[in-house]
Chain A
Amino acid sequence: MIDYSADLYDPIYAELGVPATMTAGATVANLIVLDKTRRKTVASGASRVQPHSNGAEVSSVGPGVNVRVYELAALGITAANWDGALLTFNGRSWIVRKGDVLGSPNGEDFGEVWLLLKEAAVG
């Protein structure tokens, strides 16, 4: 059985990961994240009255990071307390609004979680 943690995730995080600080309740943890913040668009106001009208496409970014679940667990952070955590990396601070567990052939505890973020400045 391939060890995805040792053979895949750890080398990727060592090469592409950036340092981050997560504050979840009383826990303050230093960890490595993959910055997955990318351009995101939302179709706004697609018409239900005039079906040929698709409305406007609004572009922004969808902020997010991937984190190794086993790294978080070692720091005392789980699905029970990452919602609402403050995450600082690459010079910006964000609030975790939810985490999608991405799984792994070795089991979800040895995979990644995709933390979806929102701007900390607006709450």
Chain B
Amino acid sequence: MIKPVLLWSDALILLLLAGIAALVWLARHNDTFRAPWRQVMASRMGSATALVLAVYAGIGLLDSLHYVERLPSEPGQPAQYSGDVRSALDALLTPLRENVEKTYSAPFATHLYAKETMTGPDGREIRDYPRLAFGGAHLADPQRDFWPDVTQRAGLGLLGGWLIWLVWRALRRWTPARRATATPGAAARSWTVLAMLLTAGMLVALAPHYHVLGTDKVGQDVLYLSLKSVRTGLLIGSLTTLIMLPFALTLGIAAGYFGGRIDDAIQYLYTTLNSIPGVLLIAAAVLVVQVQIEAHAELFETAAARSDVRLLALCAILGVTGWTGLARLLRAEVLKLRELEFVQAARAFGVTDARILLRHLLPNVMHLVLITVVIDFSGLVLAEAVLSYVGVGVDPAMTSFGNMINGARLELAREPVVWWQLAAAFVFMFILVLAANLFADQVRDALDPKSKERA
């Protein structure tokens, strides 16, 4: 028996998704809204990166469906639940989560990283590398069986991925509603799906039997840690934006439209915020939040709830300090728009300020908002790593790229070098941020009239 748990961040993620869905639903017949997105998806880079981001988002979403397990209890007793909050992703990755070794082991290793004293078959004590409890444990003789087993499993995985791809392609061809428009984007999508299915197939075939990316200091599977880190990165990137937008929109547009005293006050506000060195302001605010959370530890039922609140606080801090850039852009744009004929005409007809702002100005600055949001996203994912390294990021107990790098920092000094945890964090982050950056470029090209002229 399980009981779903809704952490605050989960609720906000669902809210965000509902908001996006509603927006898409409302604008589904609006061609000015759809045309740029169609342009993004028609380009090779746009559709490939969108797919990669969608996979990351899927992982993060699965990891946001939390639950607690019911503990076995006597019938008639009130139900007891475990304090260990899990997610749907944890449930899917149960073998990875539970196959915990003693300490480091290299990717695909069958033996531990460190020597141990063991009792040999003849009763004498020997020092050697012990076999892993899970990685390659099914092999009778690792030396002989390792390569045949790995190639066989990998081959099967690849085959499986390829078959699924064939089915997917056939299904697409038979769907009459979506007559495949032969854009470069559609072809790129197909190849991206193939690459992802092949990777996924191999991982599904190999990961339950080997530690594909090795294990960390306490023996946890690095692939599992990397997948769990995705949610933290995505949350920082998206929730911060969600919190930042209301500030940037209202203050930026108000400053540009009303001018005068309001403009002065808002400009003073953002110059003040801007003048404080970013990391310092964030650090100061996070320190304060940390102290408050420690002082009110009784408010949080589980460790997950506590680190969740700390993550949200971090997003809030990043959002409250991060709105100035967009607000400045919006102010400048509204200053220009406000003098144009259509706004003048609306004002002459006696349209109220509120209505002018909502109907005439907001839609005309939306492209700036969208561009800023996608460009900021990758920066925020990178910022999380740095902040966690400094010690003012997410909770140290939470899996995140920053915490992974921080934990792995000294591993390069070991002999032999422990490189896999750093490498895994590097690759997972690099793919996410690169996809986000390339996608942002496409979105900017599609939405920004200025960059279209340039190209």
> Do A and B originate from a single complex?
no
Q: Which residues of B contact A (CB under 8 A)?
A: none
